[in-house]
Amino acid sequence: MFDFKIVTDWIDNLLRVQIGIPSFWTLAIEFIIVGVVFLSAYAVLALILIYVERKICAFFQCRIGPNRVGKWGLLQSIADMIKILLKEIISIDRSDKFLFVLAPFFVIMGSILTFAALPFGKGLHAIDFNIGIFYLMAVSSLGIIGILLAGWSSNNKYTLIGAMRSGAQLVSYELSAALALMTVVVLSGTMQLSQIVEKQNTVWNIFHGFAAIPTFIAFIIYLIAGHAETNRGPFDLPEAESELTAGYHTEYSGITFGFYYLAEYMNMFIVAAIATTVFLGGWMPLHIPGWGAFNHIMDYIPTVIWFFGKVAVCVFFALWVRWTFPRLRIDQLLKFEWKILMPISLLNLLLMALVVTLI
Amino acid sequence: MDNKIKERILSLAPEAIIEETQFISATIPSDKLRAVALALRNDKDMQFDYLQDLIGMDWGETLGVIYNIFSTPNNQKHVVLKTSTSEKESPELYTVSDIWDSATLYEREVYDLIGIRFINHPGLRRLFLRADWNGHPLRKDYDADPAKNPVPLINQTVEDMETTETLTLTNEGVVGSSFQLFGEKEYIVNMGPQHPATHGVLHLRISLEGETVNKIDPNFGYIHRGVEKMCESYTYPQILHLTDRLDYLSGTMNRHAVCLCVEKAIGLEVPERAHYIRTIMDELTRIASHLLGWGCMCMDMGSITAFVYGMRDREKIMDIFEESAGGRLMANYNVIGGVAKDIHPNFLQRVRDFIPYMRKMLKEYHILFTENPIARGRMKGIGFLTTEQAISYGVTGPAGRASGWMNDVRKIEPYAAYDKIKFEPMMRTEGGTFERYIVRLDEVEESLKMLEQLVDNMPEGDFCAKTKAIIRIPEGEYFQRVENARGDFGVFISSKGDKSPYRIKFRTPCMTLVSALSPITCGEKLADLVMIGASLDYVIPCIDR
């Protein structure tokens, strides 16, 4: 398998040894490169996801979707991006201006910080904390502050209702999502993301012998709770178009709205990516224990392709569910979390602990 | 029955003038009207529980009101009560809104357009026009000068809308008092007029407590075009074009109603073939309207896919209309005497092909949506309307049938070809959101069965009877009812022998549907309000005219 560490080491070597830049500046330049790469990857992935969603949504609805701008409508996202950058930003009369401007940044920062910790391929990650999972859960919660601030500072009753609902929903579903991830931590024995993926060398977590049962349940729970986290799918009441006219981001226009839109798509990607890393083996190719030749062939497919392929499958499930089901009401949503999902995830954690100790 | 009614009226109001044509019509002095109304409503052998329409009239010397009441237990017997007052400066009549709940909004409309004030009405304000409007448009001496009512450059204040002077009857006689719609501390949210889920320009003011709805006040008039006033200067064929634009989703049926009324008035015999064609077009329109109603209901719940599926199937019906009639949504097909031109040779075959296709799609919709646990959770057990409330509020159509009230005009007063085919009105008893939803889909299936019978038995013959170039209706008053996709669509034409009507009134099924929002939704959650509104399936231009 191609280890991306070779490339990063080469760049480091180039800057530090061959050109001879002092250590401080080498690090600074490397940070800037990483930042630029991740920000562009973030934006480009979001554009691709927007296009994919529109096409898949259209196919579900027996229609074609965008097909005029470029062949098969491929340039549609770019046209949309240019449009949203050129839009006028309408300033609201009596809003709390500082918080109003600050809110989208919280959402985007939470999203980018999570994005940066994901392992995209062997050696292809920006940060590799030894408390990786813990860091992911902590940082993805930053988005909630952004949503509450947006609803409050817009000086609008609708946005306030939407933000309240969203806050309640996100805080509740964090718990189930975290417990599902903890289940895998119990199985792997480590929180470090690259270690979790390495340990799935022989077989992916979801097929891992007897532990497959609690892992599979945790996978389903994580996918459900993760989507509730991203305000997508059947859980999009806070931004329910037909009820509150776009909820907490009603008063945002132009690129400020673009931030929320971007963050929503990327959160969907991130939820799928975390699910892939932790349950489906991340960038690890499909290895079947005992089939050496098969495993060898699987290794030839680059790890980045494996990662994005698995994420694509999870994203497809997300889109499928979103365009099929109606949305849950807020009290049904919260009842579902606290009375059904949370007890199941706690029991599941217990079950996993038993399986790991006894087997 | 007729004699009993006559005796009762005469015993309470000896000066009443009673005419008997197809229905009993009694002109009663204004101070005795309430007693007669109460007796007709509450007596065991009378039970006139459905007030279909309350029509404000300007008879020149006097201003008055015509009440159209029906008795559900007596196979919807029709009685018309009339009353008037000669006081034209500040006319006052007693309210009947405590007898029939549907009168609350009707009387506000009469106050708005004719100017009659109703004593003891709970909150008499203008309905369609701005609170500071000068004059009452449907009066014959109304001054339509734009200088009297210039277009305002600042918004009407909320206080203007919510406080009003009402008339109450006390011991000192009739006295004025002030009425405040909402309290000081109530948290009021505006829904609409521009909102993705209100099915038209409806402005609802909702008083909330957390997520629970306390009181709803609808505010109409955003699409009030003055259709009834316009019709007073149009000839009868010209009026037909305006009827499509009332409830535009059942435009064909509205046009059918006016055509039938005029044909009844001039005694014109419409050929069989025209009746069958009109019935087929009506049923296709009903299917199209229910598909759109279903799609919008699902879209309000978040399932946009279902909306697109409904639209896709509706396109097939629109194509059938376009081939025969030229128009899609506004088919402009019915004329006085029959239909505008004969059906296209492909028409019957296309309808025959559509029926099995739609059946297959209905099965898919049931699997996709009706069986879905999330959808059921959003719809079941919410938004109950009892049968008594439905009758009192005048909630007709599928919404009323879902509450167990048999109000299908096609069965009660059959018109066109409805007495020649077999069909059953779809009924449920619980009256919740889910029942209103499922009644519509059942009605689509029933309409498909009706279409099968109609296309197989289509008679040959003329498609239109010959009429004079200028149609004049003999002097008199004519009523006609038709089963719209949303309920009982009524037409009242009062003619003085001219080629334009003296007064025309359209009874809209949707106004009562919106007035029923308030009793259903109080105590439910805000998210349920959207679903209840979608299940009632009202269309606002029908209300505002």
pLDDT mean over B51-62: 87
DSSP per residue over B58-81, as a string? E-SS-EEEEEEEEETTTTSEEEEE
CA separation for the pair B187, B209 (Å, rounded)? 7
Q: Identify the pLDDT of residue B198.
A: 60
**Confidence at B446, pLDDT banded by 50, 70, 90:** very high
Q: Identify the pLDDT of residue A316.
A: 93
- In this complex, the residue of B195, B305, B372 whose CB is nearest that of residue A61 is B305
**Confidence at B527, pLDDT banded by 50, 70, 90:** confident
CA angle, corner B403, sides to B399 and B407, nearest 5?
Answer: 70
CA distance to partner chain A, nearest, from residue B115 (Å): 37
At the top level of CATH, the class of B227-544 is mainly alpha
> Would the CB atoms of A242 and B189 count as touching at under 8 Å?
no
The count of domains in chain A is 1
Residues of B whose CB is below 8 A from A166: none
A146 in a structural domain:
yes
CA separation for the pair B333, A49 (Å, rounded)? 47
CA separation for the pair B291, B97 (Å, rounded)? 34
> Would the CB atoms of B305 and A243 count as touching at under 8 Å?
no
> Would the CB atoms of A237 and B378 count as touching at under 8 Å?
no
Chain A interface mutation, best of B204, B296, B305, B307, highest count of A Cβ atoms under 10 Å: B305
> Would the CB atoms of B372 and A330 count as touching at under 8 Å?
no
Residues of B whose CB is below 8 A from A237: 527
CA distance to partner chain A, nearest, from residue B532 (Å): 12
* Residue B276 CB contacts under 8 Å (≥ 6 apart), including other chains: B416, B417, B454, B457, B458, B459
Q: Identify the pLDDT of residue A95.
A: 75
> Would the CB atoms of A326 and B196 count as touching at under 8 Å?
no
A127-132: which pairs have CB atoms within 8 A and are 24 or more residues apart?
A128/A192, A128/A193, A128/A194, A129/A191, A129/A192, A129/A193, A130/A190, A130/A191, A130/A192, A131/A191, A131/A192, A132/A191, A132/A192, A132/A193, A132/A194, A132/A196
Question: Is B208:B214 a contact under the CB 8 Å cutoff?
Answer: yes
CA separation for the pair B544, B203 (Å, rounded)? 12
Q: Identify the pLDDT of residue B78.
A: 84
Q: Look at B199 and B385; give whichever has higher pLDDT.
A: B385
Residues of A whose CB is below 8 A from B527: 237, 240, 243, 329-330
**CA atoms within a 13 Å half-sphere pointing along the CA-CB vector of B494:** 12
* B367 interface with A at CB cutoff 8 Å: no
Q: Identify the pLDDT of residue B467.
A: 85
Q: Identify the pLDDT of residue A273.
A: 92
* B368 interface with A at CB cutoff 8 Å: yes
CA distance to partner chain B, nearest, from residue A325 (Å): 6
* B311 interface with A at CB cutoff 8 Å: no
- In this complex, the residue of A234, A327, A329 whose CB is nearest that of residue B525 is A329
- In this complex, the residue of B312, B525, B530 whose CB is nearest that of residue A62 is B312
Nearest to B245 by CA among B264, B262, B227, B230: B227
CA distance to partner chain A, nearest, from residue B199 (Å): 10
Domain boundaries for CATH 1.10.645.10 within chain B: 227-544
Nearest to A106 by CA among A56, A142, A67: A142
- In this complex, the residue of B187, B308, B372 whose CB is nearest that of residue A326 is B372
Q: Count interface pairs A-B at CB distance under 8 A.
A: 72
Q: Identify the pLDDT of residue A312.
A: 93
**Confidence at B260, pLDDT banded by 50, 70, 90:** very high
Residue owning tokens 């007796």:
B39
Q: What is the mean pLDDT of chain B?
A: 85
CA distance to partner chain B, nearest, from residue A234 (Å): 8
Residues of A whose CB is below 8 A from B196: 241-242, 245
> Would the CB atoms of A236 and B305 count as touching at under 8 Å?
no
Residues of A whose CB is below 8 A from B374: 234, 325-328
A9 in a structural domain:
no
Domain boundaries for CATH 3.30.460.80 within chain B: 2-181
A50 in a structural domain:
no
Q: Closest residue of A to B309, CA-based?
A: A61
Model confidence at B180: pLDDT above 80:
no
- In this complex, the residue of A157, A158, A243 whose CB is nearest that of residue B527 is A243
Q: CA distances (Å), B127 to each of A244, B64, B68, B136, in order? A: 26, 18, 20, 12
Two tokens, residue A74: 């491929």
- In this complex, the residue of B189, B196, B305 whose CB is nearest that of residue A157 is B189
Containing structural domain, residue A274: 95-358
Q: Closest residue of B to A158, CA-based?
A: B189
CA distance to partner chain B, nearest, from residue A318 (Å): 14
> Would the CB atoms of A240 and B302 count as touching at under 8 Å?
yes
Q: Closest residue of A to B210, CA-based?
A: A161
Place domain B2-181 in its CATH homologous superfamily: NADH:ubiquinone oxidoreductase Nqo5 subunit (3.30.460.80)
Question: Is A179:A352 a contact under the CB 8 Å cutoff?
Answer: no
Model confidence at B410: pLDDT above 60:
yes
Q: Identify the pLDDT of residue B449.
A: 92
> Would the CB atoms of A326 and B374 count as touching at under 8 Å?
yes
CA distance to partner chain B, nearest, from residue A240 (Å): 7
pTM summary value: 0.88
Q: Look at B192 and B43; give whichever has higher pLDDT.
A: B43
Residues of A whose CB is below 8 A from B302: 234, 236, 240, 242, 325-327
Q: Look at B109 and B145; give whichever has higher pLDDT.
A: B109
Residues of B whose CB is below 8 A from A161: 189, 526
Q: Identify the pLDDT of residue B445.
A: 92
State the Rg of chain A over Cα.
21
Strand pairing partners for B188?
B207
CA separation for the pair B254, B240 (Å, rounded)? 9
Q: Look at B256 and B76; give whichever has higher pLDDT.
A: B256
CA distance to partner chain A, nearest, from residue B519 (Å): 20
Q: Identify the pLDDT of residue A222.
A: 92
CA distance to partner chain B, nearest, from residue A49 (Å): 19
pLDDT mean over B107-112: 89
First to last CA, chain A: 31
- In this complex, the residue of B195, B302, B374 whose CB is nearest that of residue A236 is B302
Any idea which of A193-207, B385-399, B495-509 has the lowest mean pLDDT?
A193-207
The residues in B 163-222 lying below 8 A from A, measured between CB atoms, are 187, 189, 195-197, 211
What is the torsional sign of CA B542, B48, B105, A245?
A: negative
pLDDT in tens, B157-172: 766 666 666 767 666 6
SS (H, E, C) chain A: CCCCHHHHHHHHHHHHHHCCCCHHHHHHHHHHHHHHHHHHHHHHHHHHHHHHHHHHHHHHCCCCCCCCCCHHHCCHHHHHHHHHHHCCCCCCCCCCHHHHHHHHHHHHHHHHHHHHCCCCECCECCCCCCCHHHHHHHHHCHHHHHHHHHHHHCCCHHHHHHHHHHHHHHHHHHHHHHHHHHHHHHHHCCCCHHHHHHCCCCCCHHHCHHHHHHHHHHHHHHHHHHHHHCCCHHHCHHHCHHHHCCHHHCCCCCHHHHHHHHHHHHHHHHHHHHHHHHHCCCCCCCCCCCCHHHHHHHHHCCHHHHHHHHHHHHHHHHHHHHHHCCCCCHHHHHHHHHHHHHHHHHHHHHHHHHHHHHC
* B158 interface with A at CB cutoff 8 Å: no
Question: Is B300:B371 a contact under the CB 8 Å cutoff?
Answer: no
Contact residues of A toward B, CB < 8 A: 60-63, 157-158, 161, 234, 236-237, 240-243, 245, 323-332
> Would the CB atoms of A234 and B302 count as touching at under 8 Å?
yes
Nearest to B338 by CA among B425, B263, B404: B263
For chain A, which residues score pLDDT lower than 70?
A: 1, 239-246
A279 in a structural domain:
yes
A237 in a structural domain:
yes
Nearest to A202 by CA among A221, A188, A182: A188
* B364 interface with A at CB cutoff 8 Å: no
Q: Closest residue of B to A333, CA-based?
A: B374
* B374 interface with A at CB cutoff 8 Å: yes
Tell me the backbone φ, ψ of residue B177, rounded to 5 degrees: -150, 165
Cis peptide upstream of residue B519 (ω within 30 degrees of 0): no
